[in-house]
Amino acid sequence: MPAEKSFHMTPDEFRRHGHAVVDWIADYHSRVESFPVLSQVKPGQIRASLPASPPAQGEPFETLLKDVEKLILPGVTHWQSPNFFAYFPCNASGPGILGDLLSSGLGVQGMLWSTSPACTELETHVLDWLVPMLGLPEKFLSSGTGGGVIQDTASSAALCALLAARERATNYTSNQKGCDGRIVAYASTQTHSSLQKAAMIAGIGVENLRLIEVDKNFAMRPDALARQIEADKRAGLVPCFVCATVGTTSSNAMDPIAEIARVGREHNLWLHVDAAMSGTAALCPEFRHLQNGSELADSYTFNPHKWMFTNFDCNCFWVADRKALIQTLSILPEYLRNQATESGAVIDYRDWHIQLGRRFRSLKLWFVIRHYGVEGLQHHIRRHVQLAQTFAHWVREDENFELAAPVALNLVCFRHKGGDAANQTIMDRLNRSGDLFLTHTKLNGNLTLRLCMGQTNTEARHVERAWKRICEEAERLTAAA
């Protein structure tokens, strides 16, 4: 029989093109500093450069890679640049990227233990490794009542925690009957917006997510939390959940977890700890005090895809009582039944999150941890914190600038004393220059610049240059005044 016609890439072609792609990525990382950090394209510019219709006939792979260079790169904001100081880091690394490539190569869909036992067991194992690595309570270990799972994002983790809290508070009836508008949850005015989204999706409603006031350091006030819970109970409502944050997005504020937990426990609230970025700092024992009180949490989450050199997406989510989570999210249609599940001897992670299908994400996390070792991870995290503290020192010493919030770890919130317009101009000019990328927030109503440290290859020289450029733009303003 003649060979059947095929359009597929052969293993040999894959090998050749694969080498070219890995070379391209290695070159990209060596020249990433040469690009403007923030993409300079106008809205619609990238689409306008693409053909209106898809190709009827396949094209040579070399053309694809050339088009990435020519058409796509101009529209890329270079998150991996050492001059990226915006939002929060989303740092990648060689081992992380290669682990992700292997995950694609294996092409596993690990919805059930039986659909790839290694996908489940490696994940459970790596999440167990991380518990002592981060100084988290033993109750999160899979050997006890708890356990960890990799989710796509901290937003999904928060949603799962809120759903489990809602179910627990309604004796597992709200999945069946829906919410009656009486369930309430608590966060602070500084909590990440994903909690509002979770309240929308969980059917709790944004009005029933109480945003508790914060103190002068932007941390939740436990006394205000207690007062709000009591008022809600008097009104016949059902408080079910509170989120405490280790390192808020806006200013890296640290909520007093232990005190929040004490208030929450009195009313049987589910305590979720969101340590999306700052959780990584707990790799270093000297920063673990920031998460004191997490031993009282029902769930805890952090994003290796922010600051732990594990390319997006990779969120770790632990629960103290996995039964509550599983009872909330488990559905078993006939077509997913299998002996391993029935035996009760395995974890089926499809019951631990929203979606059914799942990638083999633990590979990249495993690679990162094994490549760096705890020592290597600690080294780089300490270095980032040190660089941020040095930057904060320069701000403190400069008569034109001031710090706008405590600098607990790797985020510096600061502003020029010339007011909002001055800060806006400085930031816009810096970002337009392409030399670095900074973003802003509002603290006490004032526009505040944020410099967040954590890119894989950021060194002292990048931070020194960033400060020099900030001072130059500030001087330009003064000269023009």
Which strands make up the sheet holding 401-403, listed edge to edge? 401-403, 411-416, 446-452, 439-443
Distance (Å, whole) CA 41 – CA 452: 24
What is the signed CA dihedral for 276, 277, 283, 287, rounded to 10 degrees? -110
| Binding-site member from 100, 255, 259, 274 for ligand PLP (CB under 6 A) | 274
- Kindly indicate which of the ranges 151-159, 176-184, 351-359, 457-465 contains the residues binding ligand PLP, using the contact rule CB under 6 A: 151-159
- Kindly indicate which of the ranges 219-227, 270-278, 393-401, 446-454 contains the residues binding ligand PLP, using the contact rule CB under 6 A: 270-278
- Determine if 103 is a binding residue for ligand PLP (CB under 6 A): no
Which residues from 343-382 bind ligand PLP, rule CB under 6 A?
A: none
Nearer to ligand PLP, 388 or 477 (CB): 388
Which residues from 62-91 bind ligand PLP, rule CB under 6 A?
A: 88
Half-sphere exposure of 22 (CA within 13 A, CB side): 14
Q: What beta strand segments (E) does 70-229 contain?
A: 147-151, 183-188, 209-212
Closest approach of ligand PLP to the CB of residue 85, in Å: 15
Which residues from 225-264 bind ligand PLP, rule CB under 6 A?
A: 245, 248-249
Nearer to ligand PLP, 254 or 283 (CB): 254
- Range list of H helices, 235-289: 257-266
Burial class (CB within 10 angstroms; exposed 0-12, middle 13-18, buried 19+) of 478: exposed
Judged by CB under 6 A, the number of residues near ligand PLP is: 14
| Residues 242, 186 contacting (CB under 8 angstroms) | yes
Distance (Å, whole) CA 69 – CA 92: 20
| Binding-site member from 168, 192, 380, 416 for ligand PLP (CB under 6 A) | 192
Closest approach of ligand PLP to the CB of residue 20, in Å: 31
Closest approach of ligand PLP to the CB of residue 303, in Å: 5
Distance (Å, whole) CA 81 – CA 94: 14
Q: Longest Cα pair distance anywhere in the chain, in angstroms?
A: 83
Closest approach of ligand PLP to the CB of residue 248, in Å: 6
| Binding-site member from 115, 124, 153, 458 for ligand PLP (CB under 6 A) | 153
CB atoms within 10 A of CB 425: 17
Q: Which two tokens stand for residue 256?
A: 């007093």
Nearer to ligand PLP, 248 or 441 (CB): 248
Nearer to ligand PLP, 249 or 441 (CB): 249
| Binding-site member from 194, 228, 311, 341 for ligand PLP (CB under 6 A) | 194
Which residues from 301-320 bind ligand PLP, rule CB under 6 A?
A: 303, 315
Whether omega for the bond prior to residue 223 falls within 30 degrees of 0, making it cis, is no
- Kindly indicate which of the ranges 45-53, 271-279, 334-342, 410-418 contains the residues binding ligand PLP, using the contact rule CB under 6 A: 271-279
AA letter at 245: T
| Residues 156, 353 contacting (CB under 8 angstroms) | yes
315-319 and 299-302 beta bridge pairing: antiparallel
- Interface positions with ligand PLP (CB under 6 A): 88, 153-155, 192, 194, 245, 248-249, 274, 276-277, 303, 315
